[in-house]
């Protein structure tokens, strides 16, 4: 694998497992040192260990991305450890713990919780690392939205709105930070069964298929197969690399063609 990210330092939020860990390991494989931030401290430390085992420097930090004090402290700790911050992957995100509900049943506390992690967390992490990127004279921010933010849906209203906000944040920051040579882009994956089923701890394959049926996942998709983590981590690495230096403010969907965005 090419060392496109040699001498770069990346921060990945929500890196304690799932796709966040996969992104972290791909960036390390491309040559980056990686700070794994996650509310699950042991998970973040395990990701950092895997990075170190692969020959790069890893740092695992317990961080609540909704807490500005913790995010600012984590950014400083990352800079103190590595001497720079070049890349931020705003991956941290949650869905509701309870089944999808109509708007009448969504409490303000539930709404605020989803927005605070998925949108405010991306804002706070960006705010925290941008000063360090400016010191280096450039940087890359990759935000993670969702295909649901583009085609809507009758369930998970709070999640959809939070992910739509991430797209707006991306485009505003791209304009704001362009003069500082900081690229800001957003990816919008379709459903990734690997991630969805990982949320269902202990589910059998039949139970997972019942909850996340293939015909629902494939609905409207022109390429009729499941999205794999390998469909996403290469894109993240590309957007973090110098090869994307003239790409900013862009929304890239990874959904087998379900949503076309002009």
Q: How many other CB atoms are there within 10 angstroms of residue 31's CB atom? A: 18
Mean pLDDT, the chain, whole residue set:
89
Question: Which stretch of 89-103, 109-123, 168-182 has the lowest confidence by average pLDDT?
Answer: 89-103
Q: How far apart are CA 39 and CA 15, in angstroms?
A: 9
97 pLDDT above the threshold of 90: no
Question: Domains in the chain, ordered, with CATH?
Answer: 9-193+228-254 (3.40.50.720)
**Helix, strand or coil, per DSSP, at residue 19:** helix
Q: What is the pLDDT of residue 246?
A: 98
100 pLDDT above the threshold of 90: no
Q: How far apart are CA 96 and CA 212, in angstroms?
A: 16
Q: What is the pLDDT of residue 235?
A: 97
- Alpha helices (H) in 107-224, listed in sequence order: 108-115, 121-136, 148-151, 157-177, 193-199, 205-211, 214-217
pLDDT in tens, 32-64: 999 999 999 999 999 999 999 999 999 999 999
Q: What is the pLDDT of residue 149?
A: 84
Q: How far apart are CA 117 and CA 70, in angstroms?
A: 13
Query: Confidence band (pLDDT; 50, 70, 90) for 200?
Result: very low
Q: What is the pLDDT of residue 192?
A: 75
Q: Decide if 132 is catalytic.
A: no
**Rounded mean pLDDT, 176-197:** 85
**Helix, strand or coil, per DSSP, at residue 37:** strand
Question: Which position among 23, 132, 159, 194 bears the catalytic label?
Answer: 159
């Amino acid at each position: 694998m090419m060392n496109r990210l040699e001498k770069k330092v990346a921060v990945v939020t929500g890196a304690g497992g799932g796709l966040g860990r996969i992104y972290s390991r791909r960036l390390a494989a491309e040559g980056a040192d990686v700070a794994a931030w996650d509310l699950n401290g042991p998970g973040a430390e395990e990701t950092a260990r895997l990075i170190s085992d692969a020959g790069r420097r890893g740092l695992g930090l317990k961080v609540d991305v909704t807490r500005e004090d913790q995010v600012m402290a984590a950014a400083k700790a990352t800079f103190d450890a590595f001497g720079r911050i070049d890349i931020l992957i705003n991956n941290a995100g949650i869905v509701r713990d309870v089944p999808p509900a109509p708007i009448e049943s969504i409490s303000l506390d539930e709404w605020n919780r989803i927005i605070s992690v998925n949108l405010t967390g991306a804002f706070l992490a960006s705010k925290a690392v941008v000063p360090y990127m400016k010191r280096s004279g450039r940087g890359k921010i990759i935000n993670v939205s969702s295909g649901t933010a583009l085609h809507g849906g009758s369930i998970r209203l709070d999640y959809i709105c939070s992910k739509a906000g991430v797209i707006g944040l991306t485009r505003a920051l791209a304009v704001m930070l362009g003069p500082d040579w900081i690229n800001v882009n957003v990816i919008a994956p379709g459903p990734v069964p690997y991630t969805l089923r990982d949320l269902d701890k202990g589910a059998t394959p039949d139970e997972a298929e019942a909850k996340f049926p293939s015909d629902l996942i494939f609905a409207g998709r022109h390429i009729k197969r499941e999205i794999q983590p390998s469909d996403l981590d290469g894109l993240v690495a590309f957007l973090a690399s110098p090869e994307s230096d003239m790409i900013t403010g862009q929304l890239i969907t990874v959904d087998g063609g379900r949503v076309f965005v002009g």
